Amino acid sequence: MKEADHSRFENLRQWAESHGATLNPSLEIYEDDITGYSLRVKPSANERLAPGFCAVSCHVAITLSYVNSLIDGPIDNSARHHEQGPAFPSQFMSSNPPHVIGRFFLVKEYLKGKDSYWWPYISTLPQPDRLNTWALPAVWPEDDIECLEETNAHVAVCEIQANIKKEYKHARKILKEEDFPGWQEYTQLLYKWAFCIFTSRSFRPSLILSQKTQDYVLSITPPGTKIDDFSILQPLLDTANHDLTSKYQWNLETSGTCQLICNNSYQPGQQVYNNYGLKSNSELLLGYGFILPATNNLHNDYVHVKSRRQPSTLQKNDTQDFLISLRPFSDPSSVTGRSRVHSHQDARLNSLPGLSRIEPGLIRDLASAVATSPDELVLLQHWAQGTVEHIPSELGELLERVQQTLGAKVQFDYQRFQSTEIESADNENQELAVRYRNQYEAVLETAMDELSRALVPNHLEKVVKGEQ
């Protein structure tokens, strides 16, 4: 790490610790060739860190979010009232959703420079003028975004772009109308920067705030505000990178503090990880700007499929988003996928011919859509609850319709995907997009191949008879 960078992160640590945060004395911030600024056990440490250690903690007094815009300063949940008014005019505060206001507040503090309470933190963030260090796919140049065409990520990027443009235009218009000091400095570039910082580094309040702090936060927010209507930046703590297999927990027992407890063992010199949750590569790309390569022990390649049913027909807890996996859901390497297999019945559905890579929820959803009678669905449920291997002949027709529908869907998506040709990757964004495309393509190909084999004439008949 360069001396200037080391100085910035040392200032961050000292500032954070002066306000109640901690960094485990056996850990240090360093610059990794792949993951950038990261946490690791000091190479000079005398012994490994055993599971259950606190890696880093963040006190609510240094967090940055929408809540701070309401009081134009740091949170002090011991105070009953704040004399300081909001950071922006009342019209701005009442006309924008919390997540937009939080982003504008981050921009406001950035524009203050060294006069900002949060400058020790903001100075360690990727800086707005270095676009390549923070830009997520939604704010990539158009030539780079084109490399994502006909993928899940491209669909989401288009939606996010429209939201960013709409949010910024509306919010900045109010600042101008209110003649807010320096409103011209709140540029679209800075809003995009703030969007990317919050998207890639923030946490859900319901997970990292104690109930006491949540109660305080809700006491100063407008009526009707929900605790997860916005997200929170946690300085110092957000240095830990993602590892899908890392085990961790949040400890909120110390007043006003969130502790990252690591339940893995780490050797001297080894990077220490957080876990951002069970997210597919499409979600990691959109939210954090990276994807995980497939290995024998772990893959994270899935294609997202929307429910065929109308939202009005879905139950409260029904999902509208399902996964198709590179490998069978039963494969130990399908960690994200296996989290969606909740029961013996789900596993049984994945054992049906051609459907091992299809999320059980999607199998049920399609069965509901193509069933010709309620009896077929009852029969499918009874079979899934049982232990008999062969498939009743009465269920064969429903199963074949599900297979055909899925096969047509996957083939259609694959043909559209193939219609987009990437001649060359000319920069890091495009190289990342091509890697994502290659792994995305593999999911479609393996699913299409398995479904095609299941639909070969006589194959289903043999399975029904118990011959295979």
What pLDDT, in 10s, does the model give residues 192-230? 999 999 999 999 999 999 999 999 999 999 999 999 999
**What is the reported pTM?**
0.93
Q: State residue 365's pLDDT score.
A: 96
Nearby residues of 139 by Cβ (< 8 Å), 6 or more positions away: 161, 164, 192, 195, 196
Whether the predicted pLDDT of 81 surpasses 50: no
How many Å apart are CA 206 and CA 441, to the nearest integer? 36
| 303 close to 317: Cβ distance less than 8 angstroms | no
Over residues 403-462, the pLDDT tens digits come to 999 999 999 999 999 999 898 899 999 999 999 999 999 999 999 999 999 987 645 555
Average pLDDT, the chain: 93
Core vs surface per residue 332-345: b (16+ CB within 10 A) or e = ebbebbbebbeeeb
Same fold: 3-274 with 291-464: no
Mean pLDDT of 312-318: 51
How many Å apart are CA 192 and CA 135, to the nearest integer? 8
Strands (E) located in 255-318: 257-262, 273-274, 302-306
3-state SS, residue 133: helix
Whether the predicted pLDDT of 345 surpasses 60: yes
| 103 close to 168: Cβ distance less than 8 angstroms | no
Question: How much of the chain is helix, strand and coil, in % rounded to 5?
Answer: 50, 10, 40
Please state at what angle helix 188-201 crosses helix 98-112, rounded to 10 degrees: 110
Mean pLDDT of 20-49: 97
Mean pLDDT of 319-347: 95
Architecture category of domain 3-274 in CATH: Alpha-Beta Complex (3.90)
Split at pLDDT 50, 70, 90, the class of 76 is confident
Q: Is residue 250 classed exposed, middle or buried when 0-12, 13-18 and 19+ CB atoms within 10 A define those classes?
A: middle
Whether the predicted pLDDT of 295 surpasses 90: yes
Q: State residue 394's pLDDT score.
A: 86
Q: Which of 102-106, 241-245, 308-312 has the lowest mean pLDDT?
A: 308-312
How many Å apart are CA 393 and CA 17, to the nearest integer? 68
How many Å apart are CA 256 and CA 405, to the nearest integer? 52
The full DSSP string for 23-49 is: E-TTEEEEEETTTEEEEEE-TT-SSPB
Name the fold adopted by 291-464: set domain protein methyltransferase, domain 2 (3.90.1420)
| Type of residue numbered 306 | K
Q: What angle do CA 292, 293, 299 make, to 5 degrees?
A: 85
Q: Are strands 64-65 and 36-41 parallel, antiparallel or unpaired?
A: unpaired
Nearby residues of 125 by Cβ (< 8 Å), 6 or more positions away: 134, 197, 201
How many Å apart are CA 449 and CA 110, to the nearest integer? 52
Q: Which two tokens stand for residue 17?
A: 């610790």
How many Å apart are CA 352 and CA 400, to the nearest integer? 10
Over residues 111-155, the pLDDT tens digits come to 999 999 999 999 999 999 999 999 999 999 999 999 999 999 999
For 394, phi then psi, to 5°, come to -65, -25
Q: State residue 83's pLDDT score.
A: 62
Mean pLDDT of 352-372: 96
Q: State residue 68's pLDDT score.
A: 98
Nearby residues of 414 by Cβ (< 8 Å), 6 or more positions away: 441, 444, 445, 448
Split at pLDDT 50, 70, 90, the class of 1 is confident
Q: State residue 392's pLDDT score.
A: 87
Q: State residue 389's pLDDT score.
A: 77
Q: Which two tokens stand for residue 317?
A: 């807890």
How many Å apart are CA 274 and CA 41, to the nearest integer? 14
Q: State residue 459's pLDDT score.
A: 53
Give residue limits of the domains in the chain: 3-274, 291-464
Over residues 377-420, the pLDDT tens digits come to 999 999 999 887 788 888 999 999 999 999 999 999 999 999 99
Strand partners, 58: 258
Q: Which two tokens stand for residue 423?
A: 């001649």
Q: Which two tokens stand for residue 65?
A: 């979010």
Over residues 86-118, the pLDDT tens digits come to 999 999 999 999 999 999 999 999 999 999 999
